[in-house]
Structure formats: structure tokens, C-alpha cells
Chains A and B, each alone.
Chain A
């Protein structure tokens, strides 16, 4: 139950008021250039070398989460994949949303992006827009199929990557993808990419 405002509270309020005056006085005395120390931006107490919060990560903890794959192949798992096997998996697990990877139907309404670029439709896809093959592997492994992310085995991801790269006319139908061959795939769009080099300033670019 909340207490009504009584005499004791009133005294407490007066006491607090006095304390604030005293404290503020002390601060303005200690503060730099008349600024209360409590309002400056640096801690008055020196930071320790380490706060000691958190736990050291174990190699197992890192291994379960460290799923990224870089263009140089770092992060690629053991395993391998082929175009033929990828075709079968695609028909089973991907085609419903992404449509056929062989016959791109222009203007077809799909729930997911088209994954194959052809010269006729100017749609941006793996063949004409993706700069690195590693991204295909990394992205499929971490978030596809959309309705069941993370459900593919590493071999299946290699298979699907091989299939999609072949459908985009980047690797041959008999190519085998693994941790050694995948980083060697050169994507046609890579040479188009530039890092934003705009600087602060008035220029419109």
C-alpha cells in the first residue's frame, strides 16, 4: 500500500534537498571548468584492463556457429557435389518456389527470386550479378530452403551449388565441386563490382 505523504516524508524531502545542494556544490568544486563531474564524458574511475565479464568460447562452441564461407574457400566443409545430383535435389526442394532453372519463364510470378540469368530477360541472378561462387554455397547452406533453413547436408549444398552454377553457364555439366574446386570458379560479374569510394563532401555520385 502506498503511504500518504506525511511528516516523516516531508523531512526526508528536505534532507534530500539539502543533500542535492551539498552534492552539487561538491561536484562543481571538483568538476573541470565549472562543469559538474557527473556530466563529463569520461569515467572518473579508470577502466580495468579487463572487466572479466563473459566466458571464454570453446572450440566446439565456435565450430557449431562458424558456418560462413569466404571467396577464398575458407570455411568450406569436406564433401563434394555434382550437377546431376543437384538437379534432382533442386526438383525436390527448390523448384516449387524458384521455378525451373532450365526454362526461365519470362514474367512468371514466383514466390522467390529467379536463380538463373539469361541474356533475354535482364533479370539479375547468379549468372550475371553474383561476384563469387562461395556466396551461392554460403547462402544456400545458411538459409535455404526458405521453409526449412539449415536442413541440407553439406553434400547437398555442393550439389545444388554445382547445379545452379551450371544452369547459369558458369561450370561444365560434369564439374565436381568441393573445397578445392569451388574457390577456383570465376564468376562473370566479379569484374563489374567496385567498392563505394565516395567521400564525405558535396559531390553527387
Chain B
């Protein structure tokens, strides 16, 4: 018993200076509870003496949560002060701290951002979505109009197609590929709106236009509009965040982030693509001696987020964890190698595995302390296996650039337990 309360006794002298207790009644109850050991002895004596003894006890330790009433309810919650996950930002984007997450849903305030002329402030009462062009009835929908339509909720990832960084060993998952996040989105199916306005059979493409200062535009095949496109106004159960397109954005599950035009104000149906700057000068990439355009689906990819840089590995059991995703349906398998890619073992996938969604995977491993490399690869339902960087370079040429890159990411495990990214060069 003595050792258990030793530290209490040590602070005895200071006990009188403890922060004021809320009122006498509560203070006495706290004292009773806190001084259990002393109390048993003291009970034998008179009540007056008992209180005296207890009052001398150093009851309340500054960091003992059982000895102090915490703050009451609040109108908006916040993170534990011990947890400070943050995005890393540049002038035009910010990255999700993938290494700080434990499952596949991204907290809304940590969702990655990529915008081309800042985040616009849009009054929801003035918001309108215009749909026109090759339609029977050109229409304007207010935000409340959009919310009246039958609604749908789905969870899917978003990823910027420029989500590939390499070059040095000291890189976190966030720095390598933090331009991907996952939310649960709610809104109206675009097909519901298409049905309402009557899309003409000749229409094969539509232009999606945002109301930011870039007046962002992308051409989208009408087929996607009927398949699974949505106009979403909610993210993770609440109104969509300004950085993600408040009050409404286009959501094209599985397609490159830039096509999911935020702050959407206009949709124009047409019979050919518009060839906007973001689908010609940008978001295109050299493939051998050609420039490939309209790569919409995000190819299967995965990354181990634990252990990863700047983490430190202890010898013994370690659960390797990470996320895998594909824009072409479901992830059916994730394989993990702990011997630098020589052998591959299936990881456990967290159910439910959703279509076009980040899928959390886990693989149990015993690290014996020797130097090695660990890596993961995703296999999707179309039987596509996430390639290595050299496979991509071989297929597309050395001038690949940064778009639609989904190479296997390897982590070096050093003998002292350091975990370092393995950058690969190809030029």
C-alpha cells in the first residue's frame, strides 16, 4: 500500500494549495474518495479527527482525472489536446495526415484540398445550379430544391490525380500521397436531375463549372452522369465543408479529384468535350511520344501508413496497417511483402469493402530486427495489380510526369528500427 500512495505523501505539503474545489459538499466527497487508505484507519476514531486526518492528505494530483470534475458539455466538440493531426499545406493544396488515421474515414477538417483560386464564400440562400444545353427543359435549382429530391448517401474516396511525390527518405505517407481522403457524401443522383430536365439523346458530354475565382471547368461523359455521379451537399453527415465545395459539388466516384468540380454552378450538356485548360494543359501526361488525355478512373493503389516515416519500429510483433483503393470498383486483395518484394502475403481487409472506397488493411508480422523493406500492393476487382514504378516507366516512358501515378510504396526498416521511405529515381 505504501508505494502505491507514496507520491501522494510526497506532495502532502502542497496539498493546501491545490486549486479551489467547487464547493464544500463536493470537496468533502472528493476527499473521502481520494483518501481511501487513510480513511479506513481514521474511521476508527471520532468523526472530527477523521476529517482532520483526511484533510491533511494530498488528495488531488494535478493529472489524476478521477480526482477532478472535468469540464461539462460543450456546443461543439474538439480533439483531445494530446492529438494534433494537421494537414500540410502549400499555396494551392493541403494533404491529409494519413499516418495519423486509424481507419478509412477522413475527419472532414483533415480532408485534402486542391483548389485553383482559393475557397469561395458562397451564401447558400443565393446558390443556384443551372443545367442547360442539350436538354428538354433548361432548369435552375436552388440548394433547397436539390435537397428536396430523393437523396442518396455513399462513402467513397477522392484523390487528386497529381498525388505522387518522391525524392527523399524523410517523407511521410502524407507527403508521398496525402492528396487522397475519404468521406461519406450525401446528395442527389445526377441521374435524378438529368431525368428532371430531360437530357437529349445526342448529348454525350457535359461541362461542369464551379463558382470559384478559377471558374473551374471540366468535360465529363454523360454516361458517368447516369452511372453514379452525384451532386452532393453533405459530407460526413453535415453540410459539406467550404474547402470541399460548399454548398454543393459534383461527385464522380472513383474519378480524379479535379473532375469532381466543387462549388458547382452550371452543367451544360453537349455533343463533344469542351477542351478546357484543366483537361488539356493540365491533368494530361506524356505516354511515350503522345499526350494522354481524359484519364478519369484512379488506378488501384495502396500505401502502408503504419509503420512509416517518422515512426520507429520495436522488435517483435507489429501489425502493418494501411489503406488501399481503386477507382475501378472494389479492392479484392491487398498483398504485403516484408522481404523487399520477394514474397507477398495476403493482408486482412476491413469489412465492409466498399466500391471505389479506401479499404483499410492489416497484416501481422514479427520483426526480428534485421534490415528489410516492407510494401503493399492493391489488386482490384478488374484483376489489375498495383504496379511498381519501373513497370509504369516501362509502359509510359521516362517522361511520365506526375499525373495518374500509382506505384508501390516501399518503406526501409533499418536495424535500429528507423522507418524510411524508399525513393526511387527513373530518369
Contact = CB atoms under 8 A, between A and B. Distances in A.
B382 interface: yes
B392 interface: yes
Contact of A50 (B150, B196, B387): B196
B364 interface: no
Interface stretch (A5-13, A21-29, A130-138, A163-171): A130-138
B384 A200 contact: yes
Interface stretch (A64-72, A84-92, A94-102, A152-160): A64-72
A135 B281 CA distance: 9
Interface in A175-197: 189, 192-196
A53 B293 contact: no
Given A57-B132, A200-B328, A204-B387, A51 B290 contact: no
Contact of B290 (A66, A126, A193): A193
A32 interface: no
Interface in B185-218: 196, 207, 209, 213-215, 217
A158 to B, nearest CB: 17
A53 B277 CA distance: 33
B24 interface: no
B132 A67 contact: no
A131 B268 contact: no
A192 B117 contact: no
Nearest to A195: B294
A138 B273 CA distance: 14
Interface of A: 43, 47, 50-51, 53-57, 61-62, 65-72, 124, 126, 129-132, 134-135, 138-139, 142-143, 146, 149-150, 189, 192-196, 198, 200-205
Q: Which 4 A-B pairs have the closest CB atoms?
A: A200-B382, A57-B138, A139-B277, A54-B141
B213 A143 contact: yes
Contact of A130 (B130, B272, B281): B281
B391 A204 contact: yes
Contact of A56 (B137, B277, B284): B137
A71 B275 contact: yes
A70 B274 contact: yes
B372 interface: no
A92 B284 CA distance: 31
B353 to A, nearest CB: 17
Given A132-B275, A135-B277, A143-B215, A57 B139 contact: yes
Contacts of B385: 202
B291 A68 contact: no
A70 B215 CA distance: 16
A14 B130 CA distance: 49
Contacts of B382: 200-202
Contacts of B268: 66, 68
Given A54-B142, A62-B130, A66-B132, A189 B295 contact: no
Interface in B126-165: 130-132, 137-142, 145, 148-150
Given A53-B196, A201-B383, A65 B117 contact: no
B131 to A, nearest CB: 8
Given A129-B281, A130-B280, A202-B382, A194 B209 contact: no
B292 A194 contact: yes
A65 B130 CA distance: 9
A47 to B, nearest CB: 8
A31 to B, nearest CB: 20
Contacts of A68: 207, 209, 217, 268, 274, 276
Contacts of A198: 295
A149 B149 contact: no
A192 B272 CA distance: 19
B130 A149 contact: no
Given A51-B149, A55-B140, A142-B217, A196 B117 contact: no
A70 B213 contact: no
Interface string B33-55: 00000000000000000000000
B226 interface: no
Given A143-B215, A194-B290, A57 B140 contact: yes
A158 B287 CA distance: 33
15 contacts: A51-B149, A57-B140, A66-B266, A70-B272, A71-B272, A131-B280, A135-B277, A138-B274, A142-B215, A149-B213, A149-B215, A201-B383, A204-B387, A204-B391, A204-B392
Contact of A70 (B139, B150, B275): B275
Contact of B384 (A47, A134, A196, A201): A201
Given A54-B141, A56-B138, A146-B117, A196 B395 contact: no
B418 interface: no
B395 A205 contact: yes
Contacts of B241: none
Contact of B196 (A54, A65, A149, A192): A54
Contacts of B396: 205
Nearest to A198: B295
A88 to B, nearest CB: 24
A66 B215 CA distance: 11
Contact of A54 (B145, B215, B290): B145
Contact of A192 (B148, B290, B295): B290
Contacts of B217: 68, 138, 142
A189 B290 CA distance: 9
A130 B278 CA distance: 11
Nearest to A141: B215
